[in-house]
Structure 1
Amino acid sequence: MTARTADPDVARLVATLLSHRHGVRAAAPGALPGTGRLFAAHPALSGPTGLGTSAARIAPARAAHGTSPTEPSGSPDSDLPELYCPPPVRDDPELGEHVNDRLVQWAEEIGLYAGQTDRIRAVNIGRMMMLAHPDSDDPDRLLVAAKCALAEWATDDYYCDDGAAPEPLGAHLGIAYTTFDPAHPPLRYLPEQEKVLRNDPVRVALRSAFEHLAEIADHPRVARLRQEVAALFVAYTHEGTWRVQERMPAVWEYLAHRQFNSFLPCLALIDVVGRYRLTEAEYADPRVRRAVTMAANASTLVNDLYSMGKEDHDQGVEFNLPVVIAAHEQCSPPEAVKRSVEIHNELVHTFEAEATALALTGSPELRRFLTGVWSWLGGNREWHRGTARYNNT
């Protein structure tokens, strides 16, 4: 199994994805239906909801008032489905930059991505947290979420991507897990264990991030994130087996894997950042779990689409939904992109319908949490549109 060469039509579709076309309206509502105005209890956070609206659509702008469309009729992306996604609720560049500066400082202090400060700064996770958590203007809480996200992504970058060998992946992740769910060996083995944990920047980052989370979250919500990151590590190992076996997964298997190799750990902190508490009973409710995991899957399929340009330039085999669909459904890469957008849209529509029903019958905290997930989808899409992680390849 070899890596695909970038297809010109796919490159054009990705370019359309990344374009910011003025005058194109968002297909999805800014507020989750049935929940009222977004974050009405926080009027100071009601930033310009129109910003980024055109980014919620990846099809070319339609002709208006007799003008010609941007793309010629019959172009490969002229029938690209609309990406169904809400617009971001607020955009506060100053807040995002402040959080990002502090995140970069933290990474430098612990030796994460040593010598690559500019890379971390350009990815701009601080901006992502600002966009994805519009019900908080607390830079300290946004920073905690940013630290957790960066530590999780560093695990992927160091152990899974950037040419990492897949064979030792399970061992790396098994040791990394003990940074936030500590092992308790006999005392004579403790110095050796500590040395191993302190000599790896990913392990240092994970431990530090969870320590900072524990300062603002109670034990059940720290345990909640621990569970989601454990599932993320299982999914990393799942993907590692595909690499070792040189096997392309079936579409259903890839989607099952992507549900947990996803932004689910980020979504788990929505109430922590927002300074309220969703009960563990409601978080674990199978109906809530179904809705939230579908949203996590959809948000990560956005990542699949936006990262295609980056992965086309990486060495080795890369897995994303369009590549898997093209391989198993025997279709062209552009058609696979279109089918991927349709799958994303089905997930978002289903989340919207089911979350709306849950919000009408659940607690005020559940309503706020589900509204936060909806807002997170919009902030996530807007961040992907601009981050250097996927746009400067």
Structure 2
Amino acid sequence: MLAGRLDERLLEWAGCIGLYHGRMERVRDAGFGRLATLCYPATDDEDLLMVPARCALAIWALDDHYCDDPGLGAVPSLLGSRLATASAVLGRVHLPDRHEAATRDDPALQGLRSATGHLQRITTPAQFDRTRHTLRTLFAALAQEATWRATHSQPRVWEYLMNRQANSFLPCMTVIDTLGGYRLPAEVWARPDVHDAVGTAALAASIANDIYSADIEDTCSGGDFNLPRAITAEQPCTAREALRISADLHNELMHRFRQQCDDLAHRGGSELHRFLDGVLDWCAGSLAWHRTAPRYHRQAADGHAPHTMERT
């Protein structure tokens, strides 16, 4: 099975780098191989699918190692400086050899460097720069979460949604054309209407993640942020009602994305239409993965969404 082979290769890759040291069952249970096969149906090339699978694992690992899990080394007071270093690792500037070695002691940095190195080998410079920019934006959003933690603040719903637009699945979506074997022109990607549409879908997919991870994040000792929690802090409602409201927002955003796709159908070429279809495929694949991923098994053990989120 393709997903299983990808997972085995991811385990080997993570072990060589040192990600999740002593907790490799978390890599196996995550099922990032299945995530790749579901989200990028345009190809069944195992080597090609390994590229976004490594990137997804590297991003999740950085979040766990730096933000969420003290057992993996997360220290809230160090998050800002660590994320700044991670952003620098994505750049073209490299330290002298005697200092470069210091960054290799950090498995999160090594995972990021290795994953993006594989990505760079299969992308054009413009495609790679697209992903790098969205990753740096994601790191800035994670740093904002660190400020909320340090000040013991609960963001208002609008503040949280602003942050979640940056802390989203957008980096994963930037490689859709690469996996599909075509190239979305840089000038098309740079168009505001295209950014608005893809950003809408990325935010919707991230809200779905919030819904499925809500129970687990509510039990985290360090505290985490998600849309249902922001809703319950701002208005009188139960946790269950907040999940329903979150699902309604997900559906509203997906309806908006479909309307944006219809509008763009009259203002884009074949590459853009193909890319937007790929975004829909990505959202559907991500939702299917969340429904069954052991990482969220307490919410999805029955194979159904905790609330009615429409399939894309």
Structure 2-normalised TM-score? 0.92
| Larger RCO: 1 or 2 (CA < 8 Å, sep 6+) | 1
- Counterparts of 2:212 and 2:295, CA distance in 1: 10
Partner of 2:143: 237
Equivalent residue in structure 2 for 1:170, among 55, 58, 80:
80
Which one of the candidate residues 30, 52, 65 is aligned to 1:123? 30
Task: Provide, for residues 170-189 of structure 1, a one-character-per-residue CA deviation record: whole Å limited to 9, x for no partner.
Answer: 1111112222214345x4xx
> Is the 1:294–1:347 Cα contact (8 Å) retained in structure 2?
yes
SS at match of 1:362: coil
1:157 to 41, 59, 64: 64
Residue 245 of structure 1: CA displacement? Answer: 0.6
Aligned to 1:206: 112
Q: Secondary structure at the match of 2:68?
A: coil
Return the offset for 1:332.
2.0
- The reply to whether residue 376 of structure 1 matches residue 286 of structure 2 is no
Of 336-345 and 245-254, more deviation after overlay is shown by 336-345
- Displacement after TM superposition at 1:128 (Å): 0.4
Q: Distance in 2 between matches of 1:214 and 1:372?
A: 20
Residues paired across the two proteins, number: 296
On the 8 A contact 2:68/2:224 being kept in 1, the answer is no
Q: Which amino acid aligns with 1:209?
A: A
* Runs (5+) with no aligned partner, structure 1: 1-93
- Structure possessing the higher radius of gyration over alpha carbons: 1
**How many angstroms apart in 2 are the aligned matches of 1:355 and 1:239?**
31
SS in 2 for 1:330: coil
Are positions 1:225 and 2:94 aligned together? no
| Unpaired stretches in structure 2, ≥5 consecutive residues | 300-312
Which of the numbers 41, 50, 55 marks the counterpart of 1:134? 41
Q: Deviation at 1:319?
A: 1.1
2:168 maps to what in 1? 262
Identity of aligned residues (%): 44
Matches within 5 A, 1:21-40: none
In the TM superposition, residue 348 of structure 1 has moved relative to its aligned partner by 0.5
What aligned pairs does 1:59-208 form with structure 2 within 5 A after superposition?
94-163=1-70, 164-185=74-95, 187=96, 190-192=97-99, 194-208=100-114
Matches of 2:238 and 2:215, distance apart in 1: 17
Q: Which amino acid aligns with 1:323?
A: R
Q: Distance in 2 between matches of 1:362 and 1:120?
A: 39
Letter in 1 for 2:195: R
Aligned to 1:324: 230
Q: Is the 8 A contact 1:359 1:370 kept in 2?
A: no
Q: Residues 231-285 of structure 1: CA distance to partner in whole angstroms, max 9, x if unpaired?
A: 0000000111000010111111100100111111101111111111001111111
Partner AA of 2:88 in structure 1: T
Shift of 1:347: 0.6
1:295/1:373 contact within 8 Å kept: yes
Supply the AA of the counterpart residue of 1:108.
G
Q: Which residue of 2 aligns with 1:90?
A: none
- Superposed counterparts of 1:313-352, under 5 Å: 313-352=219-258
Secondary structure, in 3 states, of the residue corresponding to 2:89? coil
Deviation at 1:196, TM superposition (A): 1.9
> C-alpha displacement at 1:145, in angstroms?
0.4
Is 1:296 aligned to residue 202 of structure 2? yes
Q: Which amino acid aligns with 1:314?
A: C
RMSD of the alignment, in Å? 1.4
Query: Quick one: distance in 1 between partners of 2:231 and 2:272?
Result: 35
Query: What amino acid is aligned across from residue 237 of structure 2 in structure 1?
Result: C
Q: Which residue pairs with 1:52 in the alignment?
A: none
Superimposed CA distance per residue, residues 107-157 of structure 1 (whole angstroms, 9 cap, x where no aligned partner) = 112111122222101101010010011111111111000111111111110
| Residue matched to 1:391 | 297
Residues 360 and 367, structure 1, Cα contact 8 Å, conserved in 2: no
For residues 331 and 234 of structure 1, the distance between their equivalents in structure 2, rounded to whole angstroms, comes to 31
In structure 1, give the amino acid aligned to 2:9.
R
TM-score scaled by structure 1? 0.73
1:282-336 Cα offsets, whole Å, 9 max, x none, are 1111001001011001001110000012113221322110110111122222221
Partners of 2:213 and 2:237 lie apart in 1 by: 20
Cα distance, 1:343 vs structure 2:
1.0
The separation in 1 between residues aligned to 2:265 and 2:189, in whole angstroms, is 13
2:212 aligns with 306
The separation in 2 between residues aligned to 1:300 and 1:243, in whole angstroms, is 20
